[in-house]
Structure 1
Amino acid sequence: MAVVGVIGAGISGLSAAHFLSKLARSNVKKVIVYEASDRVGGWIQTTRFPDGTLFEHGPRTVRPIGIAAQTALRLVEDVGLSMQVLFLTGSHPAAARRMIYAKGQLHYLPSQISDLLKVRPPFSKAMIKYLTKEMVTKRGRLEDESVYDFVSRRFGDELARYAADAMCLGIFAGDSRKLSAKSCFPLLWDKEKDRGSVVRGFLAPTFGAKESESAMHSKLSTVARSGRWFAWSLQEGLETLPRAVETELLSDNFVEIRRNDPVTKLGFLQSGKVEIDSASGRSTVDHVVSSVFAPQLSQMLPPDMAPLAADLRSISAVTVAVLNLQFPGDILQHLPAFGYLVPSVEQSPLLGVIFDSWIFPQHAKSSDEQPITQLTCMLGGAYFDHYFGPLNATTEQRILEAARMCLEQQLNITGTPLRYSLRVHQNCIPQYHVGHAEKLARIKGFIAHNKLEMSLIGSSYGGVSVNDCIHGGKKVAEKLAQFGTASYASYQ
């Protein structure tokens, strides 16, 4: 019976501990979670004000589609939060309408079949023409390429400049000219490789197609599917989820959570066991699961693992300033939408704005019951240093002034907010640059070749969404449940 150490109590690490407690009790007798800070949840952070207003400082909505999404909904159900779920259906204006700010104006992106035949600014042609071009473009020969180059080659430069670039900012806060198409959008990449065309790949019949992984079905995922949910959150904010997972884990002696206990060093013994040095002392475990940012893990490794440490260290991340704002009045009544993104060609420090009071008005309240508008601005990302300079040299006032100017120019908002909150999240979103897949192959190969009892999960490797992080925790628990420790290749 093994003891497993989990480094990091963000949603990835907590999910690993949760699913180990559900699936691996035949092979694992104890899980120890090491958390450097005094809280769990990582980048999932919610502030609740006395009047009921919620500010989400990190993720705020979760998509319900796909195997990973089913795992996340299973986790919600497991920890007793099903009755606290808020959801949007696909027909809701906030779900059906997305915008970008381009050429000095806000533009709705095509959202229905009839839009394919229309010329919709900022694009100069009807969308059907870009799709037709893609269907007759030859299959690429590169092992990987940037998202910008991939979309430009297959659909044309306009879609790369406005649509793909904006999508990269919205998901990764990253530079589409550096991000890997293969790693960031594997579904699109695989459609081209398998079918010779992204469009033809999506149009091809899929009868009898089998899922490569088992889904964790739950009543909640069935409700989401039948109700055609577009996105979900929780009544008390998303941070309710990691807190509920922690509460559930602490009720079971199977799991120990050590807050304020940063891991400083890992030692891999000839016996196969792993020594973990942390602020509280030294522990020996049979397997270690790291959910922390890859460069953080690199600093814990012994000197003889320099090649592995170098690859981990080369996975970069971007810094994002998150500004939550609340204004008096319904100043977005004329813009029923999820929000908008700002392509990098617009030379704006603002990556995008989320219209929180349109998405979940339950989170946007005022003490006097008067209409209010709630927004969240995302700034910086891959361009943080360009607009604000080094993080240690910039000021809160500089970021606030940049946001104020952008909101005035793009939304004509000039009033004083009722309240605001600014948080600058350093290295919060890992960047899968071109060559990321090959880098991961080297990392996994090193672990397997050296028979290291270590698994890697979290946003540094295979997906940055909440769903991806939760699903990664479930997958490592399944492997430990099936194979136990000392089955190195099975973890890769």
Structure 2
Amino acid sequence: MAGLDTVTDVSGPINPNNNTRNIVISINKSISLQECIHKRKAINMIAVLGGGISGLAAAHYLKTLGSSSRILLLEASSRLGGWINSVEQDGAVYELGPRTLRAAGNAGANTLALAESLGLREKIISINYSHASTQNRMILVDGKLHKLPNSLKTVFTKCSPFSKPLAMSAVNDLFAKKVVNNDESLFSFASRRFGLEIAKYAIDPLTRGVFAGNACELSVTSLARRLHEVEQQYGSVLVGLLKDRKNAEKPDPLLRKCELVIQARKEKWAVWSLSGGLETFVKVLQEKLVQDGIELKTSTPVKGIKKSSSKLVVQTDEEEIEVNKVVSCLPSRNLSSVIRATSPELSQLLDTIPYATVGVVNLEYKGQVLDEPAFGYLVPSSQPNKVLGVIFDTCTFPQGDRTILTVMMGGYWFKSLFGDTPSSEELLEVATREVKETLKITMKPVHYKVNILRDCIPQYVVGHSETQHNLRKLIQHMKIPLCLAGNSYDGVGVNDAIMSAKRAVL
């Protein structure tokens, strides 16, 4: 475009048909035409990067909490919602990512309050603590399914594969020596305080199911901070929890007034979802953002972020956008690549957060083919199995005369088990063999869906709390108008991501 004349004015009268300006270009030598077209300057603009649930929530809270700034959301892919992805096939709904939301805690209450504000009450499907999918949770050990203790009676009864009642782990905690440290692995902490079997058959499979991760590397201060804190102060987890009750999380008084939160507490909801799948949440939130005048741009990856005085310039393939602030809900590794020119040190810190890839296979069978209703089962890492666990989807949310299962595999071990690019046929074969051998389902599925969710879950390894603290401290020190939100930092669940977005924009 070299050699073109320049422009000084791109304003013009309002077009009454579409409320936009008819562009009038005046020629002179001050600003190039290319710069005018490709560099958007706006007073009081905030850019939200990433259109997953945290990005959508951040844009929503910016608007509803009173920001007068213009809000622009940029998403690299062609759809919004991130890992929340509900797919319909012949009348059935498959969840390719998260499928339920927990109702407990302030983060759970916050999501319920958001759902109520979006008018989603009538679409909610709730599951209480007495439901079979809440009561019956299993682990696979030595080729057999074992129910985990789920009542006071079973806690005091020896249940295989544990060699003694789980209540005995409390005795272990009372006599175990405190090890002074700032952080350690979940496996080490649980084994030290409650015994090896608790770590091996409870904590290990739990971390595989929730984080697709290795309990021997995941951080106790990031994932069970309160347990670690009371142990460090009182020398025992159980004694500490009793003596330190005043410092336990208090219910947010504002959230407690929400009618949906009141209902959930009264009816003892364990988890909930929405008719049509969890993506219904995304679609309704997206519609609300559009109604509120927030600009949503998909298929627009961010290529770079550079500092411009007290502002930031967000670079895409099409334009450069000068903004007052950026709320990044990008995965930390994605943000690392686009912030490198502004701060190599910040980029390097962001790169230290690893991710796990999960293979997900949805299997649909005709009729009710399971012997007993349950949430599903998890597989401890000590077992020679490529599968992390199997979820019994239609036990939680029935879908007529069909059984839908979701088989999760790989995680922290994905590359070592499957290489870089396993075929769909290979993953399907692993999934169908697993349900055949463990659940004795010999029939072929009538439908299936295979997906690889690459780098879908950040791994909060030992030292993660310090990393995320240092990230925010560095941003503050460098006076970069940048806020971090999303599951890379403050919790990997949907509730955590939404709460992270809210806190980032307050």
TM surpasses 0.5: yes
Tell me the secondary structure at the aligned position of residue 417 of structure 2.
Answer: helix
1:463 aligned onto 2:491? yes
Q: Is the 8 A contact 1:67 1:214 kept in 2?
A: no
1:421 aligned onto 2:421? no
Q: Greater shift after overlay, 197-206 or 235-244? A: 197-206
Tell me the secondary structure at the aligned position of residue 102 of structure 2.
Answer: coil
Structural mapping, 1:112-127, within 5 Å:
112-127=151-166
- How much has 1:140 moved relative to structure 2? 2.2
Residue 107 of structure 1: aligned partner: 146
- How much has 1:276 moved relative to structure 2? 0.4
Letter aligned with residue 284 of structure 1: E
Residue 478 of structure 2: aligned partner: 450
Q: Greater shift after overlay, 181-190 or 206-215? A: 206-215
Residue 181 of structure 1: aligned partner: 220
Residue 34 of structure 1: aligned partner: 74
Letter aligned with residue 388 of structure 1: F
**182, 185, 210: which one pairs with 1:143?**
182
Tell me the secondary structure at the aligned position of residue 346 of structure 1.
Answer: coil
Residue 316 of structure 1: aligned partner: 354
- How much has 1:284 moved relative to structure 2? 0.7
Tell me, in whole angstroms, the C-alpha distance in 2 between the residues paired with 1:414 and 1:311: 49
Letter aligned with residue 429 of structure 2: E
Tell me, in whole angstroms, the C-alpha distance in 1 between the residues paired with 2:174 and 2:403: 43
Letter aligned with residue 196 of structure 1: G
Tell me, in whole angstroms, the C-alpha distance in 2 between the residues paired with 1:382 and 1:415: 30
- How much has 1:213 moved relative to structure 2? 6.3
Letter aligned with residue 46 of structure 2: V
Tell me, in whole angstroms, the C-alpha distance in 1 between the residues paired with 2:177 and 2:270: 34
- Identify unmatched segments of 5+ residues in structure 1: 366-370, 479-492
Residue 134 of structure 1: aligned partner: 173
1:62 aligned onto 2:111? no
Residue 31 of structure 2: aligned partner: none
Tell me the secondary structure at the aligned position of residue 101 of structure 2.
Answer: coil
1:15 aligned onto 2:57? yes
**407, 417, 420: which one pairs with 1:387?**
417
**438, 455, 458: which one pairs with 2:466?**
438
Kindly, what percent of the aligned residue pairs are identical? 36
User: Structure 1 pair 311/331, CA: closer, same or farther in 2 (3 Å)?
Assistant: same
Q: Is the 8 A contact 1:71 1:215 kept in 2?
A: no
Letter aligned with residue 328 of structure 1: K
Residue 272 of structure 2: aligned partner: 232
- How much has 1:215 moved relative to structure 2? 5.2
Q: Deviations over 1:255-289 (max 9, x none)?
A: 1111111111001122x111000133111111101
- How much has 1:33 moved relative to structure 2? 0.3
Tell me, in whole angstroms, the C-alpha distance in 2 between the residues paired with 1:158 and 1:31: 51
1:404 aligned onto 2:441? no
Structural mapping, 1:220-369, within 5 Å:
220-253=260-293, 255-270=294-309, 272-303=310-341, 305-332=343-370, 334-361=371-398, 364-365=399-400
Letter aligned with residue 49 of structure 2: I
Q: Is the 8 A contact 2:375 2:396 kept in 1?
A: yes
Letter aligned with residue 379 of structure 1: M
Q: Is the 8 A contact 1:103 1:122 kept in 2?
A: no
Q: Is the 8 A contact 2:307 2:342 kept in 1?
A: no
Letter aligned with residue 53 of structure 2: I
Tell me, in whole angstroms, the C-alpha distance in 1 between the residues paired with 2:318 and 2:274: 34
User: Structure 1 pair 183/209, CA: closer, same or farther in 2 (3 Å)?
Assistant: closer
The structure with more radius of gyration? 2
Residue 378 of structure 1: aligned partner: 408
- How much has 1:204 moved relative to structure 2? 4.4
**171, 186, 197: which one pairs with 1:158?**
197
Residue 43 of structure 1: aligned partner: 83
Tell me, in whole angstroms, the C-alpha distance in 2 between the residues paired with 1:305 and 1:212: 39
User: Structure 1 pair 435/112, CA: closer, same or farther in 2 (3 Å)?
Assistant: same
Q: Greater shift after overlay, 454-463 or 323-332? A: 323-332
Tell me, in whole angstroms, the C-alpha distance in 2 between the residues paired with 1:263 and 1:64: 34
User: Structure 1 pair 384/215, CA: closer, same or farther in 2 (3 Å)?
Assistant: farther
Q: Supply the RMSD in Å over aligned alpha carbons.
A: 1.6
User: Structure 1 pair 204/412, CA: closer, same or farther in 2 (3 Å)?
Assistant: farther
1:87 aligned onto 2:122? no
- How much has 1:214 moved relative to structure 2? 6.5
- Identify unmatched segments of 5+ residues in structure 2: 1-42
Q: Greater shift after overlay, 200-209 or 67-76? A: 200-209
User: Structure 1 pair 76/442, CA: closer, same or farther in 2 (3 Å)?
Assistant: same
Q: Deviations over 1:126-161 (max 9, x none)?
A: 111112101222222121111111111111111111
Q: Deviations over 1:358-390 (max 9, x none)?
A: 1010xx23xxxxx32111110110111121112
Q: Greater shift after overlay, 96-105 or 194-203? A: 194-203
- How much has 1:106 moved relative to structure 2? 0.3
TM normalised by structure 1 equals 0.91
- How much has 1:58 moved relative to structure 2? 0.4
User: Structure 1 pair 151/238, CA: closer, same or farther in 2 (3 Å)?
Assistant: same
Q: Is the 8 A contact 1:70 1:215 kept in 2?
A: no
Tell me, in whole angstroms, the C-alpha distance in 2 between the residues paired with 1:330 and 1:279: 51
Letter aligned with residue 460 of structure 1: S
Tell me, in whole angstroms, the C-alpha distance in 1 between the residues paired with 2:128 and 2:432: 32
Count of residue pairs the alignment pairs up:
463
- How much has 1:206 moved relative to structure 2? 3.2
Tell me, in whole angstroms, the C-alpha distance in 1 between the residues paired with 2:184 and 2:277: 37
Q: Is the 8 A contact 1:6 1:17 kept in 2?
A: yes
